[in-house]
Amino acid sequence: MTADSTHDSKRGETPHGDEWPTVSVIVPVYNDPSGIRDTLDSLTAQTYPDDAHEILVVDNDSTDETPAIARAYADEHDHVTFLVESDVQSSYAARNTGIAHARGDVFAFVDADMLVDAEWLADAITAFERADAEYMGCNVEVIPSDDRDSLAERFNLRTAFPIEHFIQTLEFAPTCCLIVSRSVVDDVGAFDSRLVSGGDREFGHRVRDSGRELHFAPAVTMYHPARSTADAIVQKSRRIGRGLYQLRTLHPTQYDSWLPLALNPMPFLPPRLEQLRTIDDWETLSRREKVGFYLLSYAQSVSNGVGRLEEMLRRRLQPH
């Protein structure tokens, strides 16, 4: 716990003497039994008063044992609720289902494979209130797997989740680490459930356009398991590419002027070496690692372009 986030959950009061705000922690999940188990283990161990927060697990029509695991936690914990979103296959649709059932004044979004310390929610809400924030992203650290020799994992450990960059430069916080007031959602609306990726960007930009400040809490940390294979890294980039094309198509007035066209050749061109020199500890890497990181960065870019092309073709082939 950080030095400025001391709290006493037994009193149910913030450091300012006020009651803790009610918080709805919303966790979408799809076919991830081990991830949801780990996440719920950490969320149900929070020191935040049980009567001041709820955990809403929203299954997005899983086909494995994930729903049974989530239901078991709901049966064991009074403040855990199990919900299902089966109409739309989208993590944003699942989050919207959580929002529709939420009772809290504040929404905290957590992905199903994330881990948090027991003090996380109390620290996050303390930072949220001290900043007088309505929209805030938490810090995310990538935790290594047992396969630390994987080149892909070492690349992911150095390049994933630059949350401060997302908030300050791209002007949104990823939904894996987002804290937002109910009043904001009431004002600007919930997530666009049509998007497979980029819904956090589009929502964040609506918040920005409403005149609200986007905050970052560097001392409030959440943990994400590292992607340890090149395939996992490439598949994520491909999904992001699909989402970028969807943003341009579904929100043309907002994104048409700056998101590249699907046929733009840039994603398929080799990356410039200057781009890779921004990677943490680049100069300390071996020659083999530098070559591997370069190839992985290139694969990311190409798969992003493939995702855009894939989404363009899918939409053109859809019957009208």
How many folded domains does the chain comprise? Answer: 2
Give per-residue pLDDT as tens, 35-85: 999 999 999 999 999 999 999 999 999 999 999 999 999 999 999 999 999
Q: What is the pLDDT of residue 262?
A: 66
**Which alpha helices (H) appear in the chain, and where do they start and end?**
33-43, 66-76, 91-101, 120-130, 151-159, 163-165, 182-188, 199-209, 230-250, 252-255, 273-276, 287-317
Using a 10 angstrom Cβ sphere, with 0-12 exposed, 13-18 middle and 19 or more buried, the burial of residue 260 is middle
Q: What is the CATH number of the domain that holds 103?
A: 3.90.550.10
Q: What is the pLDDT of residue 259?
A: 57
Place of tokens 């007088």: 132
Place of tokens 């992003």: 304
Q: Does 198 share its domain with 51?
A: yes
Domain presence at residue 4 = no
Domain presence at residue 260 = yes
Residues 6+ apart with CB under 8 A from 150: 228, 229
Q: Does 254 share its domain with 138?
A: no
Nearest 5°: the CA angle 307, 310, 313 is 150
- Tokens matching residue 114: 């994330």
pLDDT at 229 over 50: yes
Domain presence at residue 18 = no
Q: What is the pLDDT of residue 218?
A: 97
The pTM assigned to this predicted structure is: 0.90
Q: Does 310 share its domain with 215?
A: no
Domain presence at residue 78 = yes
Domain presence at residue 81 = yes
Domain C-terminal end among 194, 228, 262: 228
b/e code 177-213 from CB counts within 10 Å (16+ = b): bbbbbbebbeebebbbbebbbbbbbbbbbbbeeeebe
Q: Does 196 share its domain with 276?
A: no
Q: Does 273 share its domain with 261?
A: yes
Q: Does 280 share its domain with 224?
A: no
- pLDDT tier at 319 (50, 70, 90 boundaries)? confident
Regarding beta strands 177-181 and 106-110, do their DSSP bridges make them parallel or antiparallel, or are they unpaired?
A: antiparallel
Q: What is the pLDDT of residue 264?
A: 78
Give per-residue pLDDT as tens, 138-154: 999 999 887 667 899 99
Range of the structural domain that residue 306 is part of:
231-317
Using a 10 angstrom Cβ sphere, with 0-12 exposed, 13-18 middle and 19 or more buried, the burial of residue 160 is middle
**Backbone angles phi and psi of 35, in degrees to 5:** -65, -45
Domain presence at residue 251 = yes
Q: Does 253 share its domain with 266?
A: yes
Give per-residue pLDDT as tens, 295-305: 999 999 999 99
Domain C-terminal end among 202, 228, 254: 228
Q: What is the pLDDT of residue 148?
A: 65
Domain C-terminal end among 184, 199, 228: 228
- Tokens matching residue 226: 């590292």
Q: Does 84 share its domain with 146?
A: yes
Give per-residue pLDDT as tens, 167-219: 999 999 999 999 999 999 999 999 999 999 999 999 999 999 999 999 999 99
Domain presence at residue 5 = no
Cα–Cα distances in Å, from 258 out to 153, 195, 268?
31, 18, 18
Q: Does 190 share its domain with 266?
A: no
Instruction: Find out whether 110 and 56 touch, Cβ atoms under 8 Å.
Output: no
Q: Does 137 share its domain with 51?
A: yes
Cross-strand pairs, 28: 58
pLDDT at 18 over 80: no
